[in-house]
């Protein structure tokens, strides 16, 4: 009889695991709860898709796109291919809302109850919203109009729409995501570059090397401030963003702001299921929850040896270990931790620079 494997989440970690499992002839039935939709995305490719969609189009392509009313964003380049396999049941847009560990059942937002032999949590991470005054609307339900997250394809879609008429953008947070988004926004309008500023509270390193990410970013025309904390967002009469105020009182007028202040593991489902959660879902070297031998976790939601990591190379390594174990091809394989961290990758910034050079030539 086939083994029932249920995967919650459809990000790069789940995608790698499921592709690895289905790449073997293991007798498995794999059910995936893909809360965000049928297509998994390589998130690291989302900012550069913003660049390619606008600046990378030829005049002819741009005019065709306008005719199709396709004025904004196309995430195809960041999409991971969906496996076509009868062993896969991909539940697009369905969220897992509860786990009954005693009876090994997952309750979905579609009211379906799915039994499992093995459950894998790949629920990823959520963007952190910093405690900045004025970040939300008066009723606290939404972000202030003009303020955006930059986490998933839908966020980038909205961002592309908002960037088209914007005059001045501020990116809050200088993580690799913030840097990439700032560079992408800067050149998202080839004819009329957007004025972009980036603010990060971390002090600059004392020595600036030629590979310094900020140096590269500034070459694209983005104005970047380090060692600066954002205190408040200001809105005008129409309750829309008008400025970002820094802790020193300095005011950056803007009509678009992007929050890129890091992520926190999405542990809600694990927590309500009674699994051990510290900062992430606590797993051992077999990527099994320390609370339940039938449940595994990997990717940005998992905490292994007291470490969290949503980095690409880490989640791929974890997925490969788990695919080997669950398919039976390599049942003794273990995960011992991330390989040595690679140098700071700022490929989208370098790409932005190259596009600017080409535009100037
Ligand atoms: C813009 C951006 C750029 C990045 N660039 C890089 C980079 O250059 N290098 C790098 O190493 N990392 C980068 N990262 C980080 C990396 O992409 C993420 O950490 C990675 O996506 C984590 O993968 P994951 O599969 O663990 O989780 P996620 O990608 O977060 O996917 C989890 C999925 O699970 C779904 N989900 C959650 N709960 C449920 C539920 N109950 N039911 C159903 N579905 C659920 C979520 O909706 C989500 O789709 C970047 C991230 C972003 C946002």
User: How does pLDDT run across 178-229, given as a tens digit for each residue?
Assistant: 999 999 999 887 778 899 999 999 888 777 676 788 888 998 999 999 999 9
107 and 251 share a domain?
Answer: no
Residues in contact with ligand 1 (CB, 6 Å cut-off): 8-14, 33, 35-36, 43-44, 46-47, 95-96, 122-125, 150-151, 176-177, 266, 269, 299-300, 310-312, 315, 345
Q: Which of 86, 93, 78, 94 is closest to 42 using CA atoms? A: 78
349 and 207 share a domain?
Answer: yes
Burial 242-251 (b: 16+ CB within 10 A, else e): bbbbbeeeee
Q: What is the pLDDT of residue 69?
A: 46
CATH number at residue 350: 3.50.50.60
Alpha helices in the chain (DSSP H): 12-22, 46-54, 59-67, 153-163, 176-186, 213-219, 268-272, 312-327, 347-360
108 and 235 share a domain?
Answer: no
Residue 8 lies in a domain: yes
Residue 116 lies in a domain: yes
Residue 71 lies in a domain: no
21 and 120 share a domain?
Answer: yes
296 and 254 share a domain?
Answer: no
Q: Residues 6 or more apart from 189 whose CB is under 8 A from it?
A: 54, 55, 163, 164
Q: What is the pLDDT of residue 150?
A: 94
Span from the CA of 263 to the centroid of ligand 1 (angstroms): 9
Total number of domains in the chain: 2
Span from the CA of 212 to the centroid of ligand 1 (angstroms): 26
> Which segments in the chain show pLDDT lower than 70?
52-73, 208, 210, 340-347, 358-361
Q: Could you tell which of 49, 73, 120, 123 is best to mutate to test the pocket of ligand 1, judged by most ligand atoms within 8 Å of the CB?
A: 123
* Ligand 1, atom 27: closest residue by C-alpha: 124
Residue 62 lies in a domain: no
Q: What is the pLDDT of residue 340?
A: 57
Q: What is the pLDDT of residue 73?
A: 57
DSSP character for 193? P
Residue 72 lies in a domain: no
* Residues spanned by the domain of 204: 129-261+343-360
Contact by Cβ (8 Å): 119, 62:
no
166 and 187 share a domain?
Answer: yes
Q: What is the pLDDT of residue 72?
A: 46
* Ligand 1, atom 12: closest residue by C-alpha: 311
Q: Could you tell which of 6, 10, 11 is best to mutate to test the pocket of ligand 1, judged by most ligand atoms within 8 Å of the CB?
A: 11
Residue 61 lies in a domain: no
User: C-alpha distances in angstroms, 340 versus 286, 301, 311, 337?
Assistant: 20, 20, 12, 9
312 and 351 share a domain?
Answer: no
Tell me the sheet residues that pair with 303.
Answer: 282, 308
**Cβ neighbour number for residue 39 with a 10 Å cutoff:** 18
205 and 116 share a domain?
Answer: no
User: C-alpha distances in angstroms, 234 versus 137, 224, 239, 249?
Assistant: 11, 20, 9, 12
CA gyration radius, the chain: 22
203 and 350 share a domain?
Answer: yes
DSSP character for 320? H
| pLDDT digits 0-9 by tens, 250-296 | 999 999 999 999 999 999 999 999 999 999 999 999 999 999 999 99
212: which 2 tokens?
């310094």
- Which atom of ligand 1 is closest in space to residue 348's alpha carbon? 8
212 and 281 share a domain?
Answer: no
Span from the CA of 37 to the centroid of ligand 1 (angstroms): 13
295 and 149 share a domain?
Answer: no
167: which 2 tokens?
């005059």
Place of tokens 């007291």: 306
The sign of the CA dihedral 58, 63, 65, 71 is positive
140 and 99 share a domain?
Answer: no
């Amino acid at each position: 009889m086939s083994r029932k494997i249920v995967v919650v989440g459809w990000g790069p970690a789940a995608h790698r695991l499921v592709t690895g499992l289905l790449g073997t002839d293991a007798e498995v039935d794999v059910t995936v709860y893909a809360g965000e939709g049928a297509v998994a995305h390589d998130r690291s490719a989302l900012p550069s898709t913003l660049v390619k969609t606008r600046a990378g189009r030829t005049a002819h392509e741009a005019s065709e796109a306008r005719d199709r009313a396709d004025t904004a964003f196309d995430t195809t380049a960041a999409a991971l291919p969906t496996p076509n396999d009868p062993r896969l049941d991909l539940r697009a847009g369905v969220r897992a809302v509860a786990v009954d560990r005693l009876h090994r059942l997952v309750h979905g937002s579609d009211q379906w109850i799915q039994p499992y032999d093995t459950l894998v949590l790949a629920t990823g991470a959520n963007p952190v919203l910093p405690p900045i005054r004025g970040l939300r609307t008066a009723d606290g339900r939404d972000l202030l109009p003009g303020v955006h997250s930059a986490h998933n394809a839908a966020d980038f879609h909205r961002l592309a729409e908002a960037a088209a008429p914007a005059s001045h953008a501020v990116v809050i947070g200088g993580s690799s995501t913030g840097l990439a988004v700032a560079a992408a926004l800067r050149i998202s309008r080839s004819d009329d570059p957007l004025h972009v500023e980036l603010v990060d509270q971390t002090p600059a390193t004392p020595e600036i090397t030629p590979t310094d990410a900020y140096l590269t970013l500034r070459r694209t025309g983005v104005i970047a401030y380090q060692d600066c904390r954002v205190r408040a967002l200001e809105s005008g009469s129409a309750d829309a963003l008008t400025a970002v105020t820094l802790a020193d009182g300095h005011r950056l007028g803007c009509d678009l702001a992007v929050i890129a202040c890091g992520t926190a593991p999405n542990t809600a489902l694990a927590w309500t299921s009674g699994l051990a959660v510290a900062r992430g879902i606590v797993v051992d070297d077999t990527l099994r929850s320390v609370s339940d031998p039938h449940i595994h976790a990997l990717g940005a939601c998992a905490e292994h040896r007291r470490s969290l990591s949503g980095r690409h190379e880490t989640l791929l390594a974890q997925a490969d270990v788990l695919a080997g174990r669950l398919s039976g091809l390599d049942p003794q394989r273990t995960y011992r931790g991330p390989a040595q961290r690679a140098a700071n990758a700022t490929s989208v910034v370098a790409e932005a620079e190259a596009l600017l050079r080409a535009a100037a030539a």
